[in-house]
């Protein structure tokens, strides 16, 4: 199953397969002791929020009048699930998701597309990301980037860039 996943996953994340097609190729190509519905439920249950980061980004948007974009590698059904479940649409202005644009990070074109959609110069963007390679690619395009290691260090780096949130101010004074 791992080989099938590895061979199919990029196509799935690029929106070129539905969840049902992916499951048929990777999981249910043979008889299983569980149903598709049970497996889908398990998949969606793996989505975990990071409330501290969500609050931080929403606070920064309000305090600094920022546009918020999410650039992600994610399959359509999981992407829609997370946007709904974590109410990301309440503060995110646009989603550049691999499933919508049919390209994935580390392809630099997904970052160029995000810049085109945002209509802001790269130097006015702050990109927060976990994988170091994605940070390097964004920086290569002139995008100021933060390698997210944990909440505290990301807050510190944001403050260095002049983006302190009211949440951080209350943590320091409280």
- In a structure prediction context, what are the per-residue pLDDT tens digits for the chain, which is 174 residues long? 899 999 999 999 999 999 999 999 999 999 999 999 999 999 999 999 999 999 999 999 999 999 999 999 999 999 999 999 999 999 999 999 999 999 999 999 999 999 999 999 999 999 999 999 999 999 999 999 999 999 999 999 999 999 987 765 545 444
Rounded Cα distance between 60 and 66, Å, is: 7
Contact (CB, 8 A) for 143 and 111: yes
pTM of the model: 0.88
Six token digits for residue 151: 């909440």
Q: What are the structural domains, with CATH classification, of the chain?
A: 2-45 (1.10.150.240), 51-173 (3.40.50.1000)
Distances (CA, A) of 157 to 64, 119, 129, 145, 148: 16, 24, 12, 9, 9
Six token digits for residue 100: 């919508």
- Between strands 94-97 and 126-129, the pairing is unpaired
Q: String of b and e for 61-94 (b: at least 16 CB within 10 Å)?
A: beeeebeebbbbbbbbbbbebbbeebebeebbee
């Amino acid at each position: 199953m791992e080989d099938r996943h590895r061979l199919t996953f990029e196509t799935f994340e690029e929106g070129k397969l539905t969840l049902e097609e992916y499951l048929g190729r990777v999981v249910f190509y043979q008889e299983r002791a569980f149903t598709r519905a049970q497996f889908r439920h398990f998949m969606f249950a793996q989505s975990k929020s990071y409330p501290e980061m969500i609050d931080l980004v929403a606070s920064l948007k309000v305090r600094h009048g920022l546009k918020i974009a999410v650039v992600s590698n994610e399959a359509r059904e999981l992407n829609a699930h997370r946007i709904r479940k974590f109410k990301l649409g309440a503060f995110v202005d646009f989603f550049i998701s691999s499933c919508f644009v049919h390209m994935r990070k580390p392809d630099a074109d997904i970052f160029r597309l995000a810049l085109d959609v945002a209509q802001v110069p790269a130097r006015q963007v702050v990109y927060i990301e976990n994988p170091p390679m994605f940070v390097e690619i964004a920086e290569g395009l002139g995008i100021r980037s933060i390698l997210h290691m944990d909440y505290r260090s990301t807050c510190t780096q944001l403050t260095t860039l002049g983006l302190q949130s009211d949440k951080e101010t209350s943590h320091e004074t409280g």
